[in-house]
Amino acid sequence: MLWLLLMNRLRKFTEVIDLTREVSRIAYVMGVGNLPPALNYCTWHEDTSFSPGDELLANPELKLVFRKALTEGCGLIE
C-alpha cells in the first residue's frame, strides 16, 4: 500500500476549517508538496474518492485547472 502513497498522480484536496465546514478552495496537485499554504485555522484534506476522468466528464471546464496542475504542480480553484 506504500506504493500508492508514493505514486505521482493528480490528487484533489479540499481546504476545510475546524474539520466541519468546507472552505471555498479546492487544490488539484501532483504531490502533497505542491499544496499552497492553508488559510488561518484551515487544513487540507484529500478526497480519496477523486477520479480525474469522472470529474472531467461532469465538468469539462476543469481541463484548464488540471493542465495547470500537471505543468506547474498545482491548480487551485478559489
> How confident is the model over 48-62, as pLDDT tens digits?
999 999 999 999 999
Place of cell 488540471: 66
In three-state secondary structure terms, 19 is coil
Task: Provide the strand spans (E) within 1-78.
Answer: 11-17, 21-29, 42-46, 74-77
Q: Where residue 6 falls among pLDDT bands split at 50, 70, 90?
A: low
The pLDDT value recorded for residue 2 is 47
Name the residue among 61, 23, 55 with its Cα closest to residue 42. 23
Q: Which domain holds residue 21?
A: 2-77
| Number of domains composing the chain | 1
Which of 9 and 35 is assigned the larger pLDDT?
A: 35
pTM: 0.84
Answer whether 35's CB lies under 8 Å from 29's CB.
yes
Mean pLDDT across the chain: 87
In three-state secondary structure terms, 72 is helix
